[in-house]
Structure 1
Amino acid sequence: MRPVDRLVAAALLGQVTEVRRMVAADPALLSARNMFGLVRLLLERGADVNGRRGDGMTALHSACWRGLGRVAQELLDAGADPAITAVAGPHRGQTPADTALAQGHLLLAARLDVPGQSVSSPYG
């Protein structure tokens, strides 16, 4: 079994510790190509596209932070809400577009800008 297949299997089984160990040992597992496949598979298996981690960030925030436009589009196509804001931590109050902008992913930020909301730069 390929390492990326083991990663997907561990993710589907909810084996968070194993996923973290695998990624720490081989960060290339989080390549854009592998992330797209993993996101698509998790969505097909019923993952909550707007699920939040403890600080309120979603998968769309993470894709935007990494500049993964194809993954972001897949999440949007599946119903991800681009207006959700993080509720704690260094990204508190940021939408996915704000997160993309903060990382310098300007085109991705512009694609995600929600009508009626301004994308605010963390740099003023």
Structure 2
Amino acid sequence: MRVMVLVKATEDSEKGFLPTPEAKEAMGRFNDELRNAGILLDADGLKPSSQGKRLAFDGSRRTVIDGPFAETRELVAGFWLWEVKDMDEAVAWVKRCPNPMPGPSEIEIRPLYEMADWQ
């Protein structure tokens, strides 16, 4: 099963604060573990929402909304794409993850649709 593992944004990530060298090193080791286990398909961090855009759709109309966006805790600061046996395995790996932010943070796990889901 493929899952998208979403690192939720914080006030610090939205201000563009970069992780400390120690935090980058710890996350690098964790990513190496994921890669060595054959789980990691892709991963990356996202710049603050102030550098982003949203497009609102209403029928044929498209409206461009410039960042930053409100509700920081609902934004995504980074992601992994993993191939795991099941949700329990994904949860077990996230529990091993170093805290991705300097303070309190959240990580969300969402399964991707597979071809079998559409039949």
Could you tell me the TM-score, scaled by structure 1's length?
0.21
Could you tell me the TM-score, scaled by structure 2's length?
0.22
- Select the structure that is richer in helix: 1
- Select the structure that is richer in strand: 2
Q: Which has the higher contact order (CA 8 A, sep 6+)?
A: 2
Structure of higher CA gyration radius: 2
